[in-house]
Amino acid sequence: METIVDTVVLVGISVVGAALARRLGFVAPLVLLVAGLGLSYVPGFPEAHLEPELVLIGILPPLLYVAALQTSVPAFRLALRPILLLAVGLVVLTALVVGSLVHLLLPAVPLSACVALGAIVAPPDAVSATAIARRVGLPRRVVTILEGESLLNDATALVMVRVAVGALAGGAIGFWDISVAVVRTAGGGLLIGLAFAVGAAWLHRKIVDPLLDDAVALLTPFVVVVVVAESLHTSSVVAVVIAGLYLGHRFPYLLSASSRLQMDAVWRLVNFLLEGVVFLLVGLQLRTVVSTIETDMATTVQVTAVVFGSLLLIRFLWMYPATYLARLIPRIRNREERPPASVPTVIAWAGMRGVVTLAAAQTLPEPTADGTVPEYPRELFVFVAFAVIVLTLLLQGTTLPWLARRLGVQEDSSAQDALAEAGVQHQAGRAALEALDAHAGSAPPSVVDRLRGLVESRGNNAWERLGSQERETPSAAYGRLRREMIRAERHVFKIARNEGRIPEEVLTRAQRELDLEESQLQRSEDH
């Protein structure tokens, strides 16, 4: 789909699908995937073709960047061992085992091509895992592990795909070649991502205009990817993730309040639209992918079943030793509690595949007439990758909430969060009062009293969130009544504008102040 009209149609369908998903209580990626599958066979609906460059350079970088911005660096660091075991160890094992099994089924196909398929289907998706995990209410450490895995596993998989495709094309690939490729791509991506993040942080520190802050933030993932992917041939995934982690951890110090509020709104919109369109496009691939299959039906079903089944089995067999064997080491055992078996079970079941798998499959080279790339069933491998995405999303994505509830792997951390917030708010309130006393000077007493009341109100609101048994807490009553007051004020300003008593600029300024206050009330209630 290349026309503006087709793009608008896609975005419109994704918005409607996301709204429907929220109304029905489903996760939006699953609804949009099913919608795409159905629309792919609607007569007259434009045929979609998902270009791998569009995914790897245009869609994946901002999604990974936003996910990295929102990831807690301290939590990520504490969970680094399980994250690396999944993002590196499990991906490598999955690629090798799946490749070997496919080679046993199709002995005429080069082993390197089969390993490439294994690497393509190995990494779980960054978007679906995070969306479903947060919706289910999984424990915070589990969400961090799933997020961290999905942020890093694409880099491992894409490196393996590149190495396997090089071997398929006749390159001499040995242990040393693989080691050099890993160090160059992953290590180079880390260094370049860090360098770009430092440069972007310097720019954000100097910028005072929120619009320029937004522009720099939007450009950062694309500049990193274009420079890295096109010029230096290192891992753009690692670079974007490192840049996002670095900047996300420092944004509270780098950005003004206006920039943070505006940037949050911009990234929420970008993330919402990209997530919706990408899963809709994956579903729309069905007709295109099926129409290219030349392999007989029996072989297609057999290979698909073996790949899908082995993906599930390998992840389960990996999770339990990776979880419990490490705790035989005293240092790790003393630092981390031994989780019940239900936790690795839920993590194992949360291995949904997504758009990166399909994009990586599209990068497989076509067999050449001169034999440079030997004959192999490329169209079968693309179909298997597509089928794995659909099966994992529909089977695991729809049953993960039930499984988490059934096994009791859910966490209500609202009370703990409220207690921690109340304690810190008390300290912040004392610091605010000390600053007020130090700088009050000749300020009118009424102003000083008003500011003291504001500090006390914030502290009281924080303690209220610990759980009041009242039908309506004071802060809730304040929010309800203040919203009614704002609505009345806004109506008066609109009438005055309509009657010509004030110009449009006055209405805009007043409305902005009222909108900011109402938005703050809504944020407090959502919290």
* Matching residue, tokens 């998989």: 157
* Terminal alpha carbon distance of the chain: 40
Helix (H) or strand (E) holding 265: helix 257-291
Place of tokens 């003291």: 452
The two tokens of residue 65 are: 């960047």
How many helices and strands in the chain, by DSSP H and E? 25, 0
Indicate the burial class of 476 (C-beta count within 10 angstroms; 0-12, 13-18, 19 or more): middle
* Cβ atoms within 10 Å of 222's Cβ, excluding its own: 15
Name the E strands within 69-181: none
- What Cα–Cα distance (Å) separates residue 368 from each residue in 40, 52, 207, 378, 448? 30, 20, 52, 12, 79
User: Considering the entire predicted model, what is its pTM?
Assistant: 0.81
User: For the chain, what percentages of helix, strand and coil (3-state, to nearest 5) are there?
Assistant: 80, 0, 20
Can you tell me the distance from the alpha carbon of 59 to that of 72, in angstroms, rounded to the nearest whole number?
23
Q: Give the closest residue to 455 by CA, choosing from 436, 439, 442, 438.
A: 436
DSSP, res 330 = H
327: which DSSP letter? G
Sign (positive or negative) of CA dihedral 326, 328, 334, 338? positive
- Rounded to an integer, what distance in angstroms lies between the CA atom of residue 246 and that of residue 232? 21
Q: Report the alpha-carbon distance of residue 453 to residue 469 in Å, rounded.
A: 24
pLDDT in tens, the chain (527 residues): 457 777 788 888 889 988 888 888 777 888 888 888 888 888 878 777 777 777 888 888 888 888 888 888 888 888 899 999 999 999 999 999 999 999 999 998 888 899 999 999 999 886 666 667 667 777 888 888 988 898 888 888 888 888 888 888 765 555 566 667 777 777 888 888 899 999 999 999 888 888 888 889 889 998 887 777 667 777 888 889 999 999 988 888 888 877 887 888 888 888 888 888 888 888 888 888 888 888 889 999 999 999 999 999 999 999 999 999 888 888 887 887 888 989 999 999 988 888 888 888 888 888 887 767 788 888 999 999 999 999 998 898 888 888 988 888 876 555 566 666 666 767 777 887 778 778 877 778 887 777 787 777 776 666 666 555 456 667 777 778 888 888 898 889 889 888 888 888 888 888 888 888 787 777 665 55
**How far is 46 from 2, CA to CA, in rounded Å?**
10
Report d(CA 71, CA 146) in Å as an integer: 11
Radius of gyration (C-alpha) of the chain in whole angstroms: 26
- What's residue 320's pLDDT? 92
Residue 224 near residue 243 (C-beta atoms within 8 A): yes
pLDDT of residue 414: 56
Coil/strand/helix, residue 28: helix
How far apart (Å, rounded) are the C-alpha atoms in residues 116 and 527? 45
DSSP assignments along 368-429, one per residue: -TTSSS----HHHHHHHHHHHHHHIIIIIHHHHHHHHHHHT-----HHHHHHHHHHHHHHHH
Q: Which two tokens stand for residue 227?
A: 């420079």
Tokens representing 355 are 């758009």
pLDDT of residue 429: 73
Q: Give the pLDDT score at 486.
A: 87
**Contact yes or no for 210/256 (Cβ under 8 A):** yes
Q: Which one-letter amino acid corresponds to residue 432?
A: A
d(CA 242, CA 194): 6
Q: 421 to each of 207, 257, 349, 458, 474, how far by Cα in Å?
A: 31, 20, 33, 11, 18
pLDDT for 1: 46
